[in-house]
Amino acid sequence: MKDLNKVIGELKNILYGDSDSKPAVETCAQLAIEFFREDNFHLLITCLPKLNFETRKQATQIVTNLQGQKLQSRLIACEYMERNLALMDILIAGYENNDLALHYGAMLRECIRHQCCKVS
């Protein structure tokens, strides 16, 4: 878990930068591509309950940031979420758990903000 916490912190620093540097657009785009290709987006959402509070906050920031990442003028998270609508069920069910409602709610708001989940 200690290694996972460290990796999540590093991913957050790549996407948001740190006190010494701003995030590199190219690096963020490449991270987003790999994150969705390897299905890590799904993994991070489903494993959120197993993380400690601070790591949950960082994981939430990663997921919300990736939802806004554009690649060639398109939001790649939208396409991913449309192919993985079961994730919406996980996010909505997260409201039933007081420890997770804040985190899953932030992720859901990003889905709505980017209108990436279509209701049929």
Query: Percent of the chain scored above 70 by pLDDT?
Result: 94
**CATH number, domain 2-113, options 3.40.50.720, 1.25.10.10, 3.20.20.150, 3.40.50.150:** 1.25.10.10
Residue with the larger pLDDT of the pair 17 and 111: 17
Averaged pLDDT, 13-40? 92
Global pTM value = 0.89
Query: Would you list the domain boundaries of the chain?
Result: 2-113
pLDDT, tens digit (0-9, with 9 covering 90-100), for 36-76: 999 999 999 999 999 999 999 999 999 999 998 888 888 88
C-alpha separations of 27 from 6, 30, 45, 78 in Å? 19, 5, 22, 20
User: What burial class does residue 32 get, using C-beta atoms within 10 Å of its C-beta: 0-12 exposed, 13-18 middle, 19+ buried?
Assistant: buried
As a whole number of angstroms, the distance between CA 120 and CA 69 comes to 25
* 117 has pLDDT over 80: no
Percent of the chain with pLDDT over 90: 66
Chain-wide mean pLDDT for the chain?
90
